[in-house]
């Protein structure tokens, strides 16, 4: 049964090789630091279930957090199965509850590191998605990531949630098969949102640092996994690995005008001058940027605000300018 009040589970320092499935509300996991408390597993998309069918993406998680009001702090969630060119997708965390919060956590993988549920309406290339939410009703979720580090290479933050990433380090890993190539090529995509059409916002990155060891100009800020994918980078520092065009148009969703990608106040060598980004993306106005706060993006009907108390809540409850 669900915990009537928040239940805290303290996880002491150590490396815990196990697969976690959490489907009770009000659970809080607290580690001894992301560099000291590590939860790691190695399932992946091409691994076979006992009946001989593949795991596919959504059974490959190390941590499944599927209930509301989940909190994790000061720990690492790792999938060390390897990179996708050899084993396919390998999810570190599958988060599918409303009002989920992660603070000072580290997510490590290669392809599809962090899945922010719910699932899209239907798969593109097979009859079912598989995984722990197969057949379950879809419902919107809000998620908040603060001072976290997320590592991967291909679509390593993906899904349909409305999620705010505040003060996070987003680390693009150099793909092993590209080591030593004389010319940089596409090394990855940070975000692959599948935001529902009726959701005002998808992913909002606020004050994040985009770092990595991928080659210069080889990583896209994102691409739309579904038609109405939405992502915004607000006042983020971008490394030299970010491509000048910024956004990749997946199946021409941007050209067709359904994808919703924007940025404002980007700095660093990966911040392109006006006109260099994909022509179907946009820059927020000063007024839009000023009003785009975590409190406003995530408040919803219940006024949820997991952001620091010093952040302005002006406009909370109003539709954000995503």
Q: Is 112 a catalytic residue?
A: yes
Let me know if 210 is exposed, middle or buried by CB neighbors in 10 A (0-12, 13-18, 19+).
buried
Q: Is 23 a catalytic residue?
A: no
Structure tokens at 86: 């050899």
Q: Hey, which residues does 263 pair with through a beta bridge?
A: 233, 283
Give the residue carrying structure tokens 């990433």. Answer: 165
Q: Which of 69, 74, 98, 155 is catalytic?
A: 155
Q: Which of 112, 153, 248, 249 is catalytic?
A: 112
Let me know if 128 is exposed, middle or buried by CB neighbors in 10 A (0-12, 13-18, 19+).
exposed
Give Cβ neighbours of residue 275 (< 8 Å, ≥ 6 apart): none
The phi and psi torsions of 46 (rounded to 5 degrees) equal: -90, -5
Calpha distance 300→10 (Å, rounded): 30
Q: How far is CA 140 from the centre of its chain?
A: 15
Catalytic residues: 112, 155
């Amino acid at each position: 049964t669900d915990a009537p009040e928040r239940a805290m589970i303290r996880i002491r320092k150590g490396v815990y090789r196990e697969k976690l499935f959490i489907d009770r509300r009000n659970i809080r996991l607290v580690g001894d630091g992301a560099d000291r408390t590590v939860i790691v597993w190695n399932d992946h998309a091409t691994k076979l279930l006992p009946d001989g069918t593949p795991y596919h993406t959504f059974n490959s998680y190390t941590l499944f957090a599927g209930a509301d009001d989940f909190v994790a702090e000061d720990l690492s969630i790792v999938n060390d199965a390897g990179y996708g060119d050899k084993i396919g997708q390998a999810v570190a965390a599958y988060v599918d509850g409303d009002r989920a919060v992660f603070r000072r956590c580290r997510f490590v993988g290669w392809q599809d590191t962090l899945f922010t549920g719910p699932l899209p309406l239907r798969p593109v290339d097979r009859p079912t998605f598989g995984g722990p939410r197969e057949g379950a009703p879809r419902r919107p979720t809000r998620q908040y990531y603060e001072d976290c580090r997320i590592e991967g290479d291909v679509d390593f933050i993906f899904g349909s949630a409305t999620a705010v990433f505040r003060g996070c380090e987003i680390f693009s890993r150099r793909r092993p098969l590209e080591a030593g190539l004389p010319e940089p090529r596409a090394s990855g995509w940070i975000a692959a949102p599948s935001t529902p059409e009726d959701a005002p916002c998808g992913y909002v990155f606020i004050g994040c640092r985009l770092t990595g060891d991928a080659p210069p100009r080889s990583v896209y800020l994102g691409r739309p996994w579904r038609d109405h994918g939405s992502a915004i980078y607000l006042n983020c520092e971008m490394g030299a690995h970010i491509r000048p065009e910024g956004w990749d148009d997946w199946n021409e969703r941007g050209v067709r005008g359904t994808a919703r990608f924007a940025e404002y106040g980007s700095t660093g060598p990966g911040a392109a001058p006006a006109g260099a980004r994909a022509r179907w993306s946009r820059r927020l106005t000063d007024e839009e940027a000023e009003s785009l706060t975590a409190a406003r993006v995530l408040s919803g009907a219940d006024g949820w605000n997991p952001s620091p108390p010093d952040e302005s809540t002006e406009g909370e409850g109003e539709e954000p300018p995503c």
